[in-house]
Chains A and B, each alone.
Chain A
């Protein structure tokens, strides 16, 4: 175990008879797989030569495991290439061969023997209500497991919307008090990789970027890597021409839908969602939600579950007892103002009619042109 933490990818490979030529070919492949220009090959080579393979602990909290599922859908690089060649995935309850105390032992050992050297990947999030009893692993609360593992991590990757912004279990009324990683762990770099789930190649891209360049990617205001969350779905959408033209799907399966018109009026969240769906697309470029006729539901954005209903353009505003759109609230307020005005005017007219205008009528006006101020 000790030896491997000091060993670089190149050392491991050459110890096993991979010659320099094959190693360089491998680096070229990895570079292409990460979507980097070929001018970057030398940097990748350098990284592979100088850096040890990093151990990764992948924790699962309250979640649906679709982030893991997405991860294994990655086409470039393949998930298995990452797991076998780039990282050492030492703990991951979803794929791990060992179980029970044998697997918990692996985690404890890493924390004790290699503090500050492992990467922590978190899928799902931690319930904080009632002492965290809504998610336990090995009899320990997940909240505990998370904090204890995070304390000695080198950096944290928060997979998916669960780990980065709370996702479905944190939607109103958040029965378990689920909270995303960055709200619970302090003093550690956290990379948020939201999406429900995130795109496979975005997940593997973030990992390979960190490993290759030995630095954290530049993050946006929500802690998301700009390289994948820098622009809105809307800004790269294939239906954008129809948006600008004003050609909208009005009803499911109408003529507009068949012609690929814009889904704005069906509630598309593309204009408020930062993600790579319309550029990288899903499942090796086959399509993405809007490409297949359904609006974006904003799955990489904070609070997207509570920003519904999904099939209307604006979120409902929850007021005690009712849920209405900002537009109905506005209409009601404007209506109330109009009623108030009408009532006042009515009383004014009535008063004039009853009592007349008692004020005297002045005869003439003098002009003061002086502007004293």
Chain B
């Protein structure tokens, strides 16, 4: 048997440092795969001994791509521990900021991190601007920028760029690789939208700036939000600020419906074979999010909580993140050590003690028999799970939520695919688009809910009853969570005498990019790569497609 080993390090167009090693069989199919996170900062250790009210700021810096979500999980964890609940407005504002993050992050991922796996920009040079215009108008009849002149101009710019010999970011890539299937016109259209989306993404995040003062890394607050609402004040959230938010939301709906989804479906229709590969584990996990009646009532979350095992969409299993036997992290193949005799620890009992046993850099190859990653291996009741947009869409779908059934059904209908097509690389990429569609409409709904609540006379944004540490129990612990863009995110905190005694973070990309566990079960990335054929092992487009379909974030994953 062949043991050709393809090493891709760095995996680019992701956040952080990820290395993938794929072992091919004689027919260049991936027989085995190794996913390794090659960075670690020790944020969990840095948090120890600090004021729990500051924790959100440290946690938020785990990642600037999914900025906001760690801050959100952190304030929720601390609020859970000290037993405080936030005002309705704070819940809604947090939902609005959370959804804003989704829309921006998913669009960026599609156009700027994932698209080049499917779009050959060099081939775009051969496009006919007039035919591109026709294509664009068919795909997205309501998007205004689709005239032949527009594409002619773009083609000119692109030619200048390519002919100058300065390919910059596009240098040395896999242009002309047989795995690229789009016609030149579709490629040119995608390039246009790459630039449009880049220009637009800086607008939507202004919603964060309104409520959180900046983006990346807007401000959060234990007990609520710091942006006071005072409709009669010129120095707080007032009607002008609210109008800005509303305008940004309606513009975002345009982008998602006129650009992102049509492009996604158009590109997907050229790659039907990618509904065959990349399915991976078939186990899915969600914590749920978007509280409608407070954080304590998961049944009212817009994203439901639950788990699916073995692609069985007829049963959604109950998930309790506080259950000591539920979520547990292992370090059998990770560069950490656990206390003597411990194999798997629930995060409230978890420890983080680095212990590098990998090869001395510079190295050529990792050894998957030993420890090979800075990620731990989270498992749910012993199962390796996939988290993220696909998990959320499946859990929503399997829970019988109407809006999920609608968007999933419509997309499958348009592509003429069965529901099982979702268990794939393309399914994962499509699920991200579909949930963005849900998210952008929920964004408007949450905005309306905010206005309704303000109209009813409630303008409170912070609950300061438990602000002072003297009001806290001497020892307490809490769980905070969110459905981050990349999946289920949990923070578990223990507070003693007003200080953080222990803090453990289990991140979506930790689930997905995790190494094998003590029983040799692959993590989601590894599992998803198995069985994929590679056309040119030296040009790992196929690996990038599947890995990018998860939208990896390694700074998150290892933290």
Q: Which A residues form the contact surface with B (CB < 8 A)?
A: 1, 3-4, 7, 12-13, 15-17, 53, 60, 62-70, 72-75, 78-80, 83-84, 87-90, 92-106, 127, 130-142, 144, 167-169, 171-176, 178, 196-197, 200, 238, 251-253, 257-260, 277, 282-284, 286-294, 297, 299, 305, 308-311, 323
Q: A252 to B226, Cβ gap below 8 A?
A: yes
CB distance from A175 to the nearest CB of B (A): 3
Q: Give the residue of A97, A131, A175, A257 whose beta carbon is less than 8 angstroms from that of B228.
A: A257
B381 proximal to A (CB < 8 A): no
9-residue interface stretch from B23-31, B198-206, B343-351, B400-408: B198-206
Given the interface pairs A136-B361, A289-B214, A289-B219, the reply to whether A99 lies near B45 with Cβ below 8 Å is: no
CB distance from A356 to the nearest CB of B (A): 51
Given the interface pairs A94-B12, A97-B12, A141-B361, the reply to whether A65 lies near B63 with Cβ below 8 Å is: yes
CB distance from A246 to the nearest CB of B (A): 17
B485 proximal to A (CB < 8 A): no
State the CA gap A115–B15 with chains docked (Å). Answer: 28
- Specify the chain B residue showing the minimal Cβ separation from A89: B168
B170 proximal to A (CB < 8 A): yes
State the CA gap A127–B354 with chains docked (Å). Answer: 13
Q: A292 to B67, Cβ gap below 8 A?
A: no
B236 proximal to A (CB < 8 A): yes
Given the interface pairs A73-B215, A137-B38, A197-B64, the reply to whether A253 lies near B461 with Cβ below 8 Å is: yes
Q: B230 to A259, Cβ gap below 8 A?
A: yes
Residues of B within 8 A of A78 (CB): 198-199
B420 proximal to A (CB < 8 A): no
Given the interface pairs A288-B214, A309-B54, the reply to whether A138 lies near B10 with Cβ below 8 Å is: yes
CB distance from B17 to the nearest CB of A (A): 6
CB distance from B11 to the nearest CB of A (A): 6
Q: A292 to B216, Cβ gap below 8 A?
A: no
Residues of A within 8 A of B165 (CB): 1, 3-4
- Specify the chain A residue showing the minimal Cβ separation from B539: A102
Which of B39, B198, B218, B224 gathers most chain A CB within 10 Å?
B39
> Can you name 21 A-B residue pairings with CB atoms under 8 Å?
A63-B555, A69-B64, A78-B199, A95-B169, A96-B173, A97-B12, A98-B171, A103-B10, A130-B356, A136-B38, A138-B9, A139-B9, A178-B41, A258-B235, A283-B215, A292-B218, A292-B226, A293-B225, A294-B219, A308-B50, A308-B54
CB distance from B427 to the nearest CB of A (A): 23
Residues of A within 8 A of B358 (CB): 133
Q: A253 to B464, Cβ gap below 8 A?
A: yes
Q: A65 to B112, Cβ gap below 8 A?
A: no
Q: Which 3 pairs, one residue from A and one from B, show the smallest C-beta to C-beta distance? A: A66-B64, A260-B235, A175-B42
Q: A66 to B65, Cβ gap below 8 A?
A: yes
- Specify the chain A residue showing the minimal Cβ separation from B44: A175
State the CA gap A176–B374 with chains docked (Å). Answer: 13
State the CA gap A198–B332 with chains docked (Å). Answer: 39
State the CA gap A97–B112 with chains docked (Å). Answer: 9
B212 proximal to A (CB < 8 A): yes
State the CA gap A223–B404 with chains docked (Å). Answer: 52
CB distance from B538 to the nearest CB of A (A): 9
State the CA gap A106–B121 with chains docked (Å). Answer: 19
Interface residues of B in 209-238 (CB under 8 A from A): 209-219, 221, 223-230, 233-236
Q: Give the residue of B8, B235, B360 whose beta carbon is less than 8 angstroms from that of A259.
A: B235
Q: B39 to A292, Cβ gap below 8 A?
A: no
- Specify the chain A residue showing the minimal Cβ separation from B53: A311
B61 proximal to A (CB < 8 A): yes
Residues of B within 8 A of A73 (CB): 201-202, 205, 215-216
B310 proximal to A (CB < 8 A): no
B301 proximal to A (CB < 8 A): no
- Specify the chain B residue showing the minimal Cβ separation from A68: B64
Q: B209 to A310, Cβ gap below 8 A?
A: no
Q: A93 to B12, Cβ gap below 8 A?
A: yes
State the CA gap A135–B19 with chains docked (Å). Answer: 11
Q: A252 to B464, Cβ gap below 8 A?
A: yes
Q: B64 to A4, Cβ gap below 8 A?
A: no
Q: A99 to B169, Cβ gap below 8 A?
A: no
- Specify the chain A residue showing the minimal Cβ separation from B58: A168
State the CA gap A94–B174 with chains docked (Å). Answer: 17
Q: B361 to A284, Cβ gap below 8 A?
A: no
B490 proximal to A (CB < 8 A): no
Interface residues of B in 352-366 (CB under 8 A from A): 354, 356, 358, 360-364
Which of A87, A93, A173 gathers most chain B CB within 10 Å?
A93
Q: A53 to B46, Cβ gap below 8 A?
A: no
- Specify the chain A residue showing the minimal Cβ separation from B553: A65
B270 proximal to A (CB < 8 A): no
Given the interface pairs A69-B65, A253-B460, A283-B202, the reply to whether A134 lies near B9 with Cβ below 8 Å is: no
B442 proximal to A (CB < 8 A): no
Q: A169 to B363, Cβ gap below 8 A?
A: no
Residues of B within 8 A of A133 (CB): 356, 358, 361
CB distance from B505 to the nearest CB of A (A): 13
CB distance from B496 to the nearest CB of A (A): 13
CB distance from A140 to the nearest CB of B (A): 4
Q: B169 to A97, Cβ gap below 8 A?
A: yes
Residues of B within 8 A of A257 (CB): 226, 228, 236
Residues of B within 8 A of A60 (CB): 16-17
CB distance from B273 to the nearest CB of A (A): 21
State the CA gap A136–B10 with chains docked (Å). Answer: 9
- Specify the chain B residue showing the minimal Cβ separation from A260: B235
State the CA gap A36–B272 with chains docked (Å). Answer: 52
Q: A83 to B168, Cβ gap below 8 A?
A: yes
State the CA gap A145–B458 with chains docked (Å). Answer: 55
CB distance from A145 to the nearest CB of B (A): 10
Residue-wise, chain B 42-70 has the 8 Å CB interface mask toward A (1 for contact) of: 11011001110110011001111101000
Residues of A within 8 A of B168 (CB): 83-84, 87-90
State the CA gap A148–B496 with chains docked (Å). Answer: 45
Given the interface pairs A95-B112, A294-B226, the reply to whether A16 lies near B202 with Cβ below 8 Å is: no
State the CA gap A83–B171 with chains docked (Å). Answer: 13
CB distance from A121 to the nearest CB of B (A): 13
Q: A168 to B555, Cβ gap below 8 A?
A: no
Residues of A within 8 A of B11 (CB): 99-100
Given the interface pairs A80-B198, A169-B43, the reply to whether A197 lies near B216 with Cβ below 8 Å is: yes
